[in-house]
Chains A and B, each alone.
Chain A
Amino acid sequence: MNKESTLLPCIAVESLTGCAGELLVILENLDKLLPFVRVASFPFAQTANDDGPVDIAFVEGSVSNPHDLEKLKKIRSKSRWLVAVGNCAVWGCVQGGACAKCKVSDMLAAVYGSDSQIEVLESKPLSDHVAVDVKLSGCPINTTQFLSVTASLLKDHLPYITHKPVCLECKLNENPCVLIEKNLPCLGPVTAAGCGALCPSMGAACYGCWGPCQDPQMDAMATILHEKGYDPIDVINRLKSFGAPDHLFQRMSFQYNQETQA
């Protein structure tokens, strides 16, 4: 470890309920960070961790049980910047999407039996429970975005994170549009960019893993997918898979909401 490490800004990398995808991305890039930070806590990657205050805490995963919540509150209280990393932490991801569709007690009973002692909460993003300073979505997060967010925070600058749709990156790559040419249910128009339009660049439909872009036009998206022959319920399920919050669907036309609730 660097000799002057006590003078370096401290970071913590913590995890709630998630797949550890973000932790792996951060681990892979740790060599780039190490000259500039001291890693006070990263239980996934090192054995000696301390609980002292940190400049930046990167938190992966959603809040899905009381233990997550307790841990998150502790992290919040010791961190200057709290950065939610990954779709789970920013939007709630598939577990959040599932909770938007089914009651959490029903899911618990179906998976662990009705006499299960497991304590669960409805899976939610970090900002539903504590103040979050920076939200960096991804599934997993993009290395370039992660490094530039870290660089900005180390200088106490507000990081730039794009909220434009995947379509922009897709067109900038000059991809043929799979929504138009192959009638695939591409969610690029309503999904935040950052991945570099990974899926459409490989000829596949974007399934929205980065979470919603700024002001996503869910109604128009649903209408167009419906016109292409997709079932309204499938359309709504697809749109809700990656934790897009309810309020984005509230202004949708009556037809879809009614059919989903049926």
Chain B
Amino acid sequence: MQKLEARNVNLFYGEKQALKDISLGIDPNTVTAFIGPSGCGKSTFLRCFNRMNDLIDNVRITGDILIDGRNIYKSKINVDEHRKKIGMVFQKPNPFPKTIYENVAFGLRIKGVKDKSVLDETVERSLRQAALWDEVKDDLKKSALSLSGGQQQRLCIARTMAVEPSVILMDEPASALDPLSTAKIEELIYELKSKYTIVIVTHNMQQAARVSDKTAFFYLGELIEYNTTTTIFTNPKKEQTHNYITGRFG
């Protein structure tokens, strides 16, 4: 069964249609890249999977989004519980103005976990998975805001992984970072694939080519082409895809 599936999804911000009849399926333990010019609806589509669009007034969605075969817009699901299973990493690192430790422990705390040893273990494991442990292990009580941008983003990844979601949605996670930090994040994505299903929005074509198994190209709210990354980058079927990846627009 597919991990994530969209069927004929349309999304409107007020009168304005941002997504047009999008259907696609994503297999478990793969990395899927969403590419396309700015404003084409990549973030909007990504945010359908954890219902983050619910936070915006006047959004209307039609069609179905299924996670593990379960329709998350139709069936009576608890949105908060649902979001705990679908992690999200944002474009701009957004750690809480709390300590490094408390940032990673946040997800467990809101689940009501109080056991110190469980918290300690989870914090260490998550920071190790995010390849941040060695850099911060002596500073866990320091403010997360004292970290560099790249470290903050890996902290956000650690925070997300601490609650062991099965899917991680990443919205241009490296766009605000320097090349070295970007390389670290990419390496991380590659390693996390064995445990998680990852969807990453990216502006950076090389990045999509490096980290993803499949790539979806969006244009003006439509899904133009969806295929294996190799096909998209070497042998695209559509003219628009070809133009985009060869840098003719966008």
A binds B: no
